[in-house]
Chains A and B, each alone.
Chain A
Amino acid sequence: MIIANDPLFADPFGLPEVGVVLLKVVVAFVFLLVAVMFNIWFLRKVISDMQNRIGPNLAGPWGILVTLADGVKLFFKEDLIPEKSHRFVFKLAPYLSLIPAFLVFAIVPVGGDFNRTDDRPDGFISIFGHDTLLQVADPPVGVLFFLAMSSLAIYGVMLAGWGSGSKYPLLGSVRASAQMVSYEAALGLSVASVVLVSGTLSMHEMVLTQAGPGFNSFLPNWNIIVTGFVPFFIFMVAGTAELNHPPFDLVEAEQELVGGFHTEYSSIRFALFYLAEFMNQITMGAIIVTLFLGGPAGPALFVPKGWWVGVFWFFFKLMLFLFAFVWLRATLPRLRYDQLMDLGWKLLIPVSLAWFLVLAGIQIGRDRGWSSIEVGTFAVGFGVVCMLCGAVLMMALRSARLQRLTDLEEERAERSESERTSNEGTYRG
């Protein structure tokens, strides 16, 4: 049962319910397309502001229709398929990257009242008298579905590069798959921390656990605080890398790879990639909001009630992340490939793994009924041990490197010495 949590399906399931489901699907679909349109405009406008430019301002008020103009232009461009390409794969690839982007959004709760005072359950809204969730589907495996879809999206990029039959796209897609695979681990581990804390995989229940007042009944009960910020930052970095978004846009590094995997694409097929890229940004932002910032559940201090409050909070938080993505793009230079791999494998994965262990330890302590002092001591002790281990490891690496360097120096000195003597020998001879 993929949609089990929705009260819509608790009652006898008939035509009206199908109508409600269809309505939700259509609304989500249209919303995403329009949101991508505005997201691209938003990106271009904010990034031009950050570069002291005016930016697009001709199509519509404040240039708001610039994406539409771009889309219409792309639609009427010639659709080229390279001679050496694998035609079927070449045509398939854009859809493979677009569809997962759409599907991920289906599991994101976008609204609902999470501070109800009456006895009806939290987070439901009523459409034509039918109680339902304000999300297209709420599979019990929600988060895993997200991970699966973001892994599937790699295929779009990879097949696009391979199917183009050209070297730069291939290099781009090789980089893409390596990057996405290595950051998926850190992404998964930080998601695991969230899952551990909230004790559920369903996105809706995750929002439920984050609703209401948290620590000291002042701070919100959001996972960003409950998991201690570190998984949030790791998810943010790994998610940016997963999106191939600057500073991790090695996949389409223009200076090195022309356009990376979409070099050979033109016309509407290119538009699909473009659409998928920015749609992924929105869905990644939405996932971050849901996992770490309580999704539609606002801070408990917020007074008004109603389903729109949840919608407001969701979009408010989503906008913050979309702005953050643009800010990253405007500020950070692209990483080198080895830096990218270093960051992923040597920093993010160990840190997220260690943090996951700490959280697991605390969780076990709670289950066993330890006092908070004991838990705190454990956490601090574990942290100290981790840091000591890290320090020892770093020292070992550094001394090994120093040793290598001195060895190299000696070797060089010896070689030049021997060369000189041998040269002298030849002169004498």
Chain B
Amino acid sequence: MAEFTDYIKGFAVTFKKLFEERVTGDYRGGMAKPGQPDEKRPKVERLHGRHVLNRYEDGMEKCIGCELCAGVCPAKCIHVRGADNDPDNPTSPGERFGYVYEINYLRCIHCDLCVEACPTQAITETKLFEFSFTNRDDAIYTRDELLVGDDGKPQQLPWEDWREGEDELTSGWMRATSPSGDHRYEGVVQWSGELGYGVRAPELGQSADVGDTGADAGTSGGGDG
């Protein structure tokens, strides 16, 4: 008899769901006609999306063409070739700059190892994953497409679905993997400023001081030490 009432209970559960709030959103991939809803769900912090190549605040490119990102990439999706800077009109501070920079998004697994490997925080990831292409050539992003614009914002390519304010959400993980190799923020900013955004503040989870829950900092710090 208990089995039978359990059956009835199951039916009641599914019937009640009919009147509950929906967990999915009304997403139309930016193809909505006027008046139609088209909402993205809020993304989690540190989500890995498509990459950007950052620039310094003076407009110089951060990439020095060292190919560490290509070397660390487990999917072998990054192709980099460096070249010497023109002394009169340098592309990046220092000797070399990234002359060729290509990422194949049919291969990229968004593991962020390239971001961790980068010594100058040149490559970081945005939170954008709503991009699709109709041919394989479009899947290979070149330097021109990855590089942030003159305002420091990621380029919004025709096949990408950018929304208002989403360009703010770039380069989160970069600050966690600052050049000292220690993700902990110790009162001194160890990362360089960015064109358009300046020196970004430490983010949540980087320090016990900055709006952090002690447990998170403790565990991640301990694991790293």
Residues of A with Cβ closer than 8 Å to B?
A: 46, 49-54, 57-58, 327, 330-332
Contacts and interface: CB of A to CB of B under 8 A. Distances in A.
B17 A51 contact: yes
Interface string B15-43: 10110111111101000000000000000
B180 interface: no
B77 to A, nearest CB: 30
The residue among A50, A53, A332 with the most chain B CB atoms within 10 A of its own CB is A50
B28 A327 contact: no
A333 to B, nearest CB: 9
The residue among B14, B18, B22, B28 with the most chain A CB atoms within 10 A of its own CB is B14
B10 A49 contact: no
A391 B174 CA distance: 72
A327 B11 contact: yes
B23 A52 contact: yes
Nearest to B25: A54
24 contacts: A46-B18, A49-B18, A50-B14, A50-B15, A50-B17, A50-B18, A51-B17, A52-B23, A52-B24, A53-B22, A53-B23, A53-B24, A54-B24, A54-B25, A57-B26, A58-B28, A327-B11, A327-B14, A327-B15, A331-B10, A331-B11, A331-B13, A332-B7, A332-B10
A236 B11 CA distance: 16
Contacts of A52: 17, 20-24
Nearest to A49: B18
A52 B10 CA distance: 15
Contacts of B11: 327, 331
A117 B22 CA distance: 50
A265 to B, nearest CB: 28
A199 to B, nearest CB: 34
Q: Which 3 A-B pairs have the closest CB atoms?
A: A331-B14, A50-B14, A330-B14
Nearest to A332: B10
Contacts of A46: 18
A46 B15 CA distance: 10
A58 B31 CA distance: 10
A57 to B, nearest CB: 7
Nearest to B26: A54
Nearest to A333: B10
Given A46-B18, A330-B14, A331-B11, 15 more contacts: A49-B17, A50-B14, A50-B17, A50-B18, A51-B17, A52-B21, A52-B23, A52-B24, A54-B25, A58-B28, A327-B11, A327-B15, A331-B13, A331-B14, A332-B7
Contacts of A50: 14-15, 17-18
B135 to A, nearest CB: 20
A332 B22 CA distance: 21
B9 to A, nearest CB: 10
Contacts of B28: 58
B22 A54 contact: yes
A416 B7 CA distance: 43
B40 to A, nearest CB: 14
Contacts of B15: 50, 327
B57 to A, nearest CB: 44
A51 B14 CA distance: 8
Contacts of A57: 26
Contacts of B17: 49-52
Nearest to B29: A58
B150 to A, nearest CB: 37
B12 to A, nearest CB: 9
Contacts of A327: 11, 14-15
Contacts of A53: 22-24
Contacts of B22: 52-54
